[in-house]
Amino acid sequence: MTAVIIKINDIVGRRSYNCDILFRVIDFQKIDGKNYAILYGEAFRLVADAPYEDLVIIDALQQAKFSEEYRTLEEQSLRLFTQDVNLLREKQEYEATGGYAVESSYFQIPGKVLHLDGDPVYLKKCMAVYEKIGVPVLGIHCNEKEMPMKIGELIDYYRPEILVITGHDAYSKAKGKLSDLNAYRHSKHFVMAVREARRKVPHLDQLVIFAGACQSHFESLIHAGANFASSPARVNIHALDPVYIVAKISFTPFMERINVWEVLRNTLTGEKGLGGIDTKGVLRTGMPYRPIKDE
């Protein structure tokens, strides 16, 4: 029987994990004389390496099955989140018009998001959801190791109210204990990037930061200055979880504090994968709204 050759960008599963997660092959390396593949999760922000012989190519039919399961979860979360946003808008309209006592047009300025992502595929997915919801965003693909060097200049240029620092991460038991930051693939780079951002904007309510990916060192990210981070229980987080968190912040009025549980309840991962601290919203409402018409 001819051996199956696995190539870059093939979709694979790991035999040793019963193919529970779909991965995309992004590179091959030799480790201690053995061939390994470097893998990025297709729906989860997880990076892993696996021996070549542990990999199984996932055919189109199996991929479609996984994709349908993921899509159902994503649509459910998006539907619940959209309901939340609509309620926030109705509340704002009621307050802006004095309880509908006057007819007055108004406008809203949601918080601007700067989203740095270590994975261009995930960034594209996130940008599509931001656009669907109506969040103003600048998305930048940036290697996790380069984020600390680039974050300051990007903040100066874009002046965001919300910053997302994400990509791929993973904890390795072989490298140390759960409390050891060096036992994580990219957590230290996320931490350094958060610290650089806080040097630019120290106040937690002037720049709201989400940082982390799958299995990231939650406590270090919060102590570095993130408002929200992953992953308290060191579990995998879904690719779109950061979007749901920052979109909620973007559409919450700046005079209101965000209940952490209300932010987490409609994410795909929940409190095991995501957490945070009390934070103010960033939405601002103004009036009147009278668009100028060209004659």
| Amino acid of residue 91 | K
- Dihedral, CA atoms, 142, 147, 153, 156, nearest 10 degrees? 90
Report d(CA 41, CA 44) in Å as an integer: 5
What confidence score (pLDDT) does residue 277 get? Answer: 94
CA-CA distance, 72 to 77, in Å (whole number)? Answer: 9
Range name among 61-70, 86-95, 98-107, 109-118 with the lowest pLDDT average: 98-107
Residue 217 scores a pLDDT above 50: yes
Tokens encoding 249: 């912040």
| Helix orientation angle between 60-96 and 120-133, rounded to the nearest 10 degrees | 40
Q: How many CB atoms are closer than 10 A to CB 103?
A: 6
**Lowest-pLDDT choice from 76-85, 117-126, 160-169, 265-274:** 76-85
Confidence at residue 261, expressed as pLDDT on a 0 to 100 scale: 85
Q: How far apart are CA 58 and CA 200, in angstroms?
A: 45
At 222-256, the pLDDT tens digits run 999 999 999 999 998 888 888 888 888 998 989 88
More confident residue, 275 or 61: 275
- The set of residues, in sequence order, having a beta carbon less than 8 Å from that of 195 and lying 6+ positions away, is 148, 224, 225
Query: pLDDT tens, 123-176?
Result: 998 999 899 888 999 999 999 999 999 999 999 999 999 999 999 999 999 899
**Closest alpha carbon to 187 in 223, 141, 139, 153:** 223
In angstroms, the first-to-last Cα distance of the chain is: 75
